[in-house]
Amino acid sequence: MASYTFNKKVLPLLILLWPAERWMRRRFTKAVITGDRLRYETGILTRSTRNIQLSKIQDVRVDQRLAQRLFDVGNLAIETAGETSRLTLPNVDQPQSLADEIMNRAQKGAPA
């Protein structure tokens, strides 16, 4: 009987931990376009920042699973020239609009 009561109380908590963890990860992830750079920051306790020159961006790809399409969310994969050639931003709101904006700014900043 005690095991059943314990499971009954713990199960809702465990079910809520998954979305809470995803919300925290998303809350502490940021992508900002400033001038000629894309800055991608992630982390809660420790912070990791990656800067990409817009002129080095070669391709931006949007991947969306069915559930992501329903909520207009998707993964953005940015291909760059250089050693670390791919950056993937998971679960981006309005990914196609952001991909278009990044490519437009990359083309404007590219030397003619």
Q: Where are the domains of the chain?
A: 30-109
Is the model's pLDDT at 111 over the cut of 60? no
Is the model's pLDDT at 83 over the cut of 80? no
Let me know how long the chain is.
112
| Token pair listed for 7 | 């499971």
Query: What number is the average pLDDT over the span 40-68?
Result: 91
Say which amino acid occupies 99. A
pLDDT of residue 60: 95
Only one residue has tokens 């995803």, namely: 22
How far, rounded to the nearest angstrom, does the alpha carbon of residue 45 sit from its chain's CA centroid? 18
pLDDT of residue 1: 47
Instruction: Classify 30-109 by CATH class.
Output: mainly beta
